Homo-oligomer: A and B are copies of this chain.
Amino acid sequence: MSTSVDVAAWLNRVREARPLVHNITNLVVTNVAANGLLAIGASPVMAHAKQEVADMARIAGAVALNMGTLDEDIVEAMELAGRAANGAGVPVVFDPVGVGATPYRDEAARRLTERVKLAMLRGNAGEIGVLIGAGGQVKGVDSEGAASDLPQAMRRYAEARGCAVIATGPTDYVTDGRRVWALSNGHPLMAAITGSGCIATAILGAFAAVADRDQGPRAYAEAAVAALTCYNVAGQLAADKAQGPGTFQAALFDALYHLDGAYVKEVAKVEVLAE
């Protein structure tokens, strides 16, 4: 299917630039997020000390913040890294894991979105719905239900905030505040491993790092369409090799590593809902 986003070109750009992605992420996914970034061709670094996050963020190509196992120090570090990235023009991706599950997570997500200018906001449908005030349900860190008009609510939020907004699930929605895409590659096994959303967030960082910063949300949304399509197609390829979620996780890194841009382009299921 044809699409205005040249997925193969984006993938090449990541592999050529090998961007440094600075992650402040949760304790569950540190290893798999780093391996996902290496496999797609980026260079991951994890650093959370208040003494260094600003320095690391400024030299990074992108900063990916994930509040999956937040605590006071991590929230403070995410804010410091995010603000330093803002000051240096480095794009920031934010993943509000589990927002809606506890008041503490709601407060942390509000603090981060208020104080840090985001390039991309990504969550599952429940999390994004809760965060942007469209409704939605979250059970622990799992989405339990989304608003029916979520893509439209996302579009309005993206426009008001000037960032790309991304809700992932069986269908992924991406918007830059004007255009809305629906992406339907992927495989159910992706939901059977922990951290598949968090790996997506890290990979979004790698693609954000090679986007044209001057184009703002427009470029970041296209980067997101490319990143998720690559990731989801890798998921499809991995599912073909897997006997279950354990072998799927290993196969996912293999597939990302060997991913062929032309093939991704060929099988991409990218639909433009609004433009």
- From the candidates B35, B49, B105, name the one contacting A71 in the complex (CB within 8 A): B49
Q: Given the known A-B contacts A28-B31, A35-B245, are A104 and B55 also in contact in the complex, defined by CB atoms under 8 Å? A: yes
Which residues of chain B are near A255, meaning CB under 8 Å?
244
**A64 CB within 8 Å of chain B:** no
Structural contact, B46 and A26, CB atoms closer than 8 A: yes
Q: How far is the CA of A250 from the CA of B48 in the complex (A)?
A: 28
Asked if A69 is at the interface (CB within 8 A of a chain B CB), the reply is yes
Query: A15 → chain B, closest Cβ, in Å?
Result: 13
Interface size on A, residues (CB 8 A): 63
Decide if A47 touches B69 in the complex (CB within 8 Å): yes
Report chain B residues within 8 Å CB of A193: 35, 38, 253
Q: Which residues of A contact B (CB under 8 A)?
A: 20, 22, 26-32, 34-35, 38-39, 43-52, 55-56, 59-60, 68-73, 98, 101-105, 139-142, 192-195, 241-247, 249-255, 257-258
A-B contact pairs, 16 of them (CB 8 A): A27-B27, A28-B31, A38-B192, A43-B140, A44-B141, A48-B71, A50-B71, A52-B105, A55-B101, A55-B103, A192-B257, A244-B258, A245-B257, A246-B252, A246-B257, A249-B250
